[in-house]
A and B are shown apart, each in its own frame.
Chain A
Amino acid sequence: MEALLAFVIGLLTACGVYLALRGRTFPVVLGLTFISYAVNLFLFSMGRLSIGQPPVISVSANAYADPVPQALVLTAIVIGFAMTAFVIVLALKARADLGNDHVDGQN
């Protein structure tokens, strides 16, 4: 299972990096979204993987997943949304001011 997650993280990173290197704003934003997924999963995986052991205290559970990376990633997901929003609005602004959507502001 670890290999699968490592593969997924690598895959999402690779797609994100490729898109982030494109010349137009929209694919770059999509690339950043991909990189956010990969980073969140990567951070999350720092607590190692466990199945069926959510960190909710109960009498029947005998082990729990590490709650710390989960707490970190939870806020990271929400802030990631805010960042995406900011970047995409910045892209709109660039489009409006420069008349094109190239990341360097020139066609």
Chain B
Amino acid sequence: MNLFFAVLTPFLGAVLVAWASRFGRSHAAWAAGGVALTALAWLSPLLSQPFAGTTVVQRLEWMPSVGLDLVFRLDGLGLLFAGLILGIGLLVILYARYYLSERDSMGRLYAYLLLFMGSMLGVVLSENLIQLLIFWELTSLSSFLLIAYWREREMARMGARMALAITGAGGLALLGGILLLGEITGSYELSVILASGDLIRGHSLYLPTLILVLLGAFTKSAQFPFHFWLPHAMAAPTPVSAYLHSATMVKAGVFLLARLFPALSGTPEWSWLVGGAGLCTLLLGAVVALFKHDLKGLLAYSTISHLGLITLLFGIATPMAVVAGVFHIINHAIFKASLFMAAGIIDHETGTRDMRRMQGLWQFMPFTATLAMVAAASMAGVPLFNGFLSKEMLFVEASEMASQQSFGWLLPVTVTVAGIFAVAYSLRFIHDVFFGGKPLELPRTPHEPPRWMKVPVEVLVLLCLVVGLFPAQTVAPLLAVAAASTLQTALPEYNLAIWHGFNPALWMSVTALVGGVLLYLVRRPFSLLHDRFEGQLDARRLYNALLQGLMVIARRITALLDVGSLQRMVFVFIGFALLLGWMGWSGDRSVLTGSRPLLPVDAMSLLVTAVLTVISVAVVILHRQRFTALVLVGFVGLVVSLIFVKFSAPDLALTQLLVEVVTVVLLLLALYFLPQHSPVESHPLRRSRDGLLALLVGGGVGALAWAVLTRPHSSIGDFFLANSVSGGGGSNVVNVILVDFRGFDTLGEITVLALAGLAVYALLEKLHISGPSQNADGRDWNWDLHPVIMASFTRLLLPLALLVSVFILLRGHNLPGGGFIAGLVTAVALIMQYLANGVAWTHSRLSANMHPVVGVGLLIATLTGLGSFVFGYPFLTSTFGHMKWPLVGDFELASAMAFDLGVYLVVVGATLLILIHLGLMHGKEPVRGKGGH
């Protein structure tokens, strides 16, 4: 369960942090840090297991009947990533506290950051691939929020949308790949899939599976040709970039490559696709990075290049290359996070990120400059820093590949060229920013950042050095378990040392270093060339064209289907339903009337039906006189409740009766703001067409009802009837179904009710509407309202009505009644006070703030459900018992009654919320008081 809680903690923490930010910026930072530490604490008891060679798998049965479980897995690779996510996450949290300006919302950033952290942890700790995919999509969504953090900036919104579109499309492809994997192996669990590599590779669906999975990984890891979203994602605040583009978001793609390596690798297809994409990306990123003038742009393309490097290593697919790939994941995360943070400090202190404007910053911030230099040296692959080690391993692998394939020599040449560019852009990052003259008209005079803003960078730079100098003593054990769990086989022999003798790799390194310096010195003409053609050859153009095309098609289809007239759409909809009904009817040869014996008709029923017919037809004829029509509709509702009385449904009759009252009050309140009459505007032909359709639909529905009513029937109701008393402890079966057997449904329903109440409230909040100052007959409204006798009576009635509602609530489990009905009784009783005594009078005695009532009701209902977990039962299991009360005697107490209390409160709260706030709209009236006392 620890893994489950480790993943859950950041999600819950996001809410906590959003709340904690009310108390101040530092509170939010402390809370966010605390959340990350808590997640780490959940993991800590398990940390030693991967080092002992065990893979921890923790299973939480979710829906065992359909084989859906929440399964988490911790092995070396998961451990490495979890460590990066939480470790760098903590540093980013600390850094962000000092980065954001006073105007930016601290809580929002941290909440998004924690959402993202939780999603990433879910990705790297999932055992089930479907589950992995869900977290994968969550990372896309939460990174969208993070990139668009400065939502008022157009670039941020555009960048976020592009990242979401690309990674979201990749996620869709990945879903396809995962489903195919499940189809091939018969399981979605990694332990099965990783062990069935031969089965997968030999399967006829191998290639489509591979391509779909790779699409997912490449889009996420910004591999060519999907790399273009990453530079646009730089519109995010720098702490976000430092987090997303060093250790997490973009690493999810290479994580997937590593995760599925044993299942998918080892074929020419894998080598060509993965290696090819990696090689292109490596070179392209490195070349473009040199010419970017934006600090973060340079880092973005450098990130693309390094991701290409990692992908290339997985594409080479020898065990040693995989070790190198995993190693570079670690190294890149460390130095890139620190470089982004350094870039953020520079941006923060100078107010610009344009390298053409800044130079000579060394004299203002020598300490930051030193830190950045170490990190940049690591990025360039200079010996003694960590980046050198994994890059050297790449050179070894590339030079060994050279002899194995025709055109194999291309590989070492290309990686060396990429290495030259990497050295050149790293040099540019340092030299252009910190040296070479005096800064030009900077917006601010730079100086060293606050103490604690430097700490995260110091920690990371220290790691660069320590790993670079003493790899065997520091990173080796972690690398070994991570690489072993990636390979799922024994590790190859290797030696993490700085000096390996005079081998080809060394000469490649030397070439890269010397060539990089030379390239930097002669870069000017190339840079001009790049500036001239920038934006000419850009995959973003293709993306935009595709997107626009899609929009055009979507608009055309919408225009084709939606004519912009509700009347016509409703007509088409109903007509189509009628057509479908008729088709179902005509295909079947069974008779309309079934064999069930009919109930005899009595005179009263006949009379009531006749009255109902007259009223309904009257509503249709008189519907233009809205007030009259409304009163008649109320009458129809009363007859419907009589029908429920007649046919053995006392609960329904009570509910219908009460709902009718509140509905009529509601519509009356609303009618005040609407015209009192509908104009005659539709053509007689149209009216007869509508009438014909209505008659056909009515006839069809009536015939359907007749067909069902006359057929024999057996129902699951028998089960509820048999078990209601013994299982639910109540004899009113309808109520027991609502609060016990199907309590979960009811919880959903009261949630909907609460949401509807809140939605109405939200709509009314911003509504500015004024009603007429005169009634339909042209007379002024009489504001001298509230007849004395009625007012006095309703005041007297109130306690009585409340007593009745309590009575109905309590007896509901055994006799008609319950939370819904009692809630409506209370609501009607309180509404009566408004009607009889006026808004002002009632308002001074009853708060209009019904949100807490709704909230408490939902909380009680949910807690009652959760309570059963404490006793080891599933959600919403109820219990009951009898107790003796003095005077009252034997009294039954069921936990479902607490649930019913929740229902009661939600019904009262939501109903009053709607009616009171609609009523208060009248209070806003400027005409109020006119006509006077």
Contact of B763 among A9, A74, A93 (CB under 8 A): A93
CA distance A95 to B921 in the complex (A): 14
Contact at A66–B717, with CB atoms within 8 Å?
A: yes
Contact at B651–A70, with CB atoms within 8 Å?
A: yes
Contact at B701–A85, with CB atoms within 8 Å?
A: no
CA distance A94 to B911 in the complex (A): 22
Contact at A56–B616, with CB atoms within 8 Å?
A: no
Among residues 26 to 58 in chain A, which have CB atoms less than 8 Å away from a CB atom of chain B? 26-27, 29-30, 33-34, 37-38, 40-42, 44-58
Contact at A80–B659, with CB atoms within 8 Å?
A: yes
B734 on the A face (CB < 8 A):
yes
**Known contacts A42-B705, A54-B649: does B911 contact A1 (CB below 8 Å)?**
no
- Measured CB to CB, the nearest residue on chain A to B748 is A75
Contact of B717 among A6, A34, A41, A68 (CB under 8 A): A68
Stretch at the interface among B48-56, B327-335, B498-506, B592-600: B592-600
Contact at B768–A27, with CB atoms within 8 Å?
A: no
The 5 closest A-B pairs by CB, nearest first: A10-B702, A14-B698, A82-B756, A6-B706, A57-B731
Contact at B697–A14, with CB atoms within 8 Å?
A: yes
Among residues 624 to 683 in chain B, which have CB atoms less than 8 Å away from a CB atom of chain A? 624, 626, 629-630, 633, 636-637, 640, 643-644, 646-652, 655-656, 659, 662-663, 666-667, 670-671, 673-675, 678-679, 681-682
Q: Name the A residues within 8 Å of B734 (CB-CB).
A: 55, 67, 70-71, 74
B708 on the A face (CB < 8 A):
yes
Q: Name the B residues within 8 Å of A89 (CB-CB).
A: 670, 760, 763-764, 767, 914, 918
Contact at A10–B705, with CB atoms within 8 Å?
A: yes
Q: Name the A residues within 8 Å of B709 (CB-CB).
A: 2, 5-6, 45, 48-49
CB distance from A56 to the nearest CB of B (A): 5
CB distance from A67 to the nearest CB of B (A): 4
Q: Name the A residues within 8 Å of B651 (CB-CB).
A: 70, 74
Q: Name the B residues within 8 Å of A15 (CB-CB).
A: 616-617, 619-620, 694, 698
Contact at B698–A55, with CB atoms within 8 Å?
A: no
Contact at B647–A65, with CB atoms within 8 Å?
A: yes
Besides the contacts A26-B675, A33-B633, A65-B648, what 13 more A-B pairs have beta carbons closer than 8 Å? Answer: A1-B599, A2-B598, A10-B701, A16-B694, A47-B715, A50-B648, A57-B725, A67-B734, A74-B652, A78-B824, A79-B749, A86-B759, A93-B767
Contact of B710 among A2, A51, A92 (CB under 8 A): A2
Pull 7 A–B residue pairs with CB atoms less than 8 Å apart, ordered by A.
Answer: A11-B612, A18-B690, A40-B640, A42-B704, A79-B749, A84-B663, A88-B667
Contact of B715 among A68, A74, A78, A81 (CB under 8 A): A68
Contact of A78 among B623, B659, B701 (CB under 8 A): B659
Chain B residue total in the interface (Cβ 8 A): 113
- Measured CB to CB, the nearest residue on chain A to B815 is A56
CA distance A80 to B667 in the complex (A): 13
Q: Name the A residues within 8 Å of B759 (CB-CB).
A: 86
- Measured CB to CB, the nearest residue on chain A to B907 is A78
- Measured CB to CB, the nearest residue on chain A to B644 is A44
Contact at A82–B636, with CB atoms within 8 Å?
A: no
B693 on the A face (CB < 8 A):
yes
Q: Name the B residues within 8 Å of A88 (CB-CB).
A: 666-667, 670
Contact at B702–A7, with CB atoms within 8 Å?
A: yes
Contact of A30 among B630, B675, B691 (CB under 8 A): B630
**Known contacts A22-B678, A25-B674, A68-B715: does B725 contact A51 (CB below 8 Å)?**
no
Contact at B640–A64, with CB atoms within 8 Å?
A: no
Contact at B567–A103, with CB atoms within 8 Å?
A: yes
Q: Name the A residues within 8 Å of B690 (CB-CB).
A: 17-18, 21
Contact at A51–B647, with CB atoms within 8 Å?
A: yes
Chain A residue total in the interface (Cβ 8 A): 82
- Measured CB to CB, the nearest residue on chain A to B824 is A78
Contact at A71–B738, with CB atoms within 8 Å?
A: yes
CA distance A67 to B567 in the complex (A): 38
Contact at B733–A95, with CB atoms within 8 Å?
A: no
Contact at A23–B650, with CB atoms within 8 Å?
A: no
Q: Name the B residues within 8 Å of A85 (CB-CB).
A: 666, 756-757, 760, 914, 918
CA distance A42 to B707 in the complex (A): 12
**Known contacts A13-B702, A79-B752, A79-B753: does B649 contact A30 (CB below 8 Å)?**
no
CB distance from A104 to the nearest CB of B (A): 5
Q: Name the A residues within 8 Å of B737 (CB-CB).
A: 67-68, 71
Contact at A5–B705, with CB atoms within 8 Å?
A: yes
B527 on the A face (CB < 8 A):
no
Among residues 757 to 787 in chain B, which have CB atoms less than 8 Å away from a CB atom of chain A? 757, 759-760, 763-764, 767-769
**Known contacts A42-B705, A49-B647: does B566 contact A8 (CB below 8 Å)?**
no
CB distance from B599 to the nearest CB of A (A): 4
B131 on the A face (CB < 8 A):
no
Stretch at the interface among B218-226, B347-355, B601-609: B601-609
CB distance from B907 to the nearest CB of A (A): 7
Contact at B701–A95, with CB atoms within 8 Å?
A: no
Contact at A90–B702, with CB atoms within 8 Å?
A: no
Contact at B609–A90, with CB atoms within 8 Å?
A: no
**Known contacts A7-B702, A46-B708, A52-B648: does B738 contact A1 (CB below 8 Å)?**
no
CB distance from A18 to the nearest CB of B (A): 4
B695 on the A face (CB < 8 A):
yes
Contact at A81–B717, with CB atoms within 8 Å?
A: no
CA distance A42 to B643 in the complex (A): 12
**Known contacts A6-B703, A41-B643: does B648 contact A54 (CB below 8 Å)?**
yes
**Known contacts A48-B713, A71-B738: does B600 contact A10 (CB below 8 Å)?**
no
Contact at B659–A81, with CB atoms within 8 Å?
A: yes
Contact at B619–A1, with CB atoms within 8 Å?
A: no
**Known contacts A29-B667, A77-B659, A84-B666: does B609 contact A18 (CB below 8 Å)?**
no
CA distance A16 to B691 in the complex (A): 11
- Measured CB to CB, the nearest residue on chain B to A73 is B652
- Measured CB to CB, the nearest residue on chain A to B651 is A74
Q: Name the A residues within 8 Å of B646 (CB-CB).
A: 51
B422 on the A face (CB < 8 A):
no
Q: Name the B residues within 8 Å of A30 (CB-CB).
A: 619, 623, 629-630, 633, 667
Contact at B731–A67, with CB atoms within 8 Å?
A: no
B887 on the A face (CB < 8 A):
no
B58 on the A face (CB < 8 A):
no
Q: Name the A residues within 8 Å of B742 (CB-CB).
A: 71
Contact at A18–B738, with CB atoms within 8 Å?
A: no
CB distance from A88 to the nearest CB of B (A): 4
Among residues 576 to 599 in chain B, which have CB atoms less than 8 Å away from a CB atom of chain A? 596, 598-599
- Measured CB to CB, the nearest residue on chain A to B738 is A71
CA distance A23 to B652 in the complex (A): 32
Contact at B756–A1, with CB atoms within 8 Å?
A: no
**Known contacts A4-B609, A74-B651, A95-B674: does B733 contact A55 (CB below 8 Å)?**
yes
A20, A22, A74, most chain B CB atoms within 10 A? A74
CB distance from B406 to the nearest CB of A (A): 69
CB distance from A102 to the nearest CB of B (A): 9
Contact at A91–B647, with CB atoms within 8 Å?
A: no
Q: Name the B residues within 8 Å of A12 (CB-CB).
A: 616, 636, 698
CA distance A19 to B666 in the complex (A): 19
Q: Name the B residues within 8 Å of A6 (CB-CB).
A: 702-703, 705-706, 709
Contact at A81–B911, with CB atoms within 8 Å?
A: yes
Q: Name the A residues within 8 Å of B574 (CB-CB).
A: 17, 20-21
CA distance A77 to B633 in the complex (A): 15
B206 on the A face (CB < 8 A):
no
CA distance A38 to B626 in the complex (A): 21
Q: Name the A residues within 8 Å of B429 (CB-CB).
A: none
**Known contacts A54-B650, A58-B731: does B708 contact A78 (CB below 8 Å)?**
no
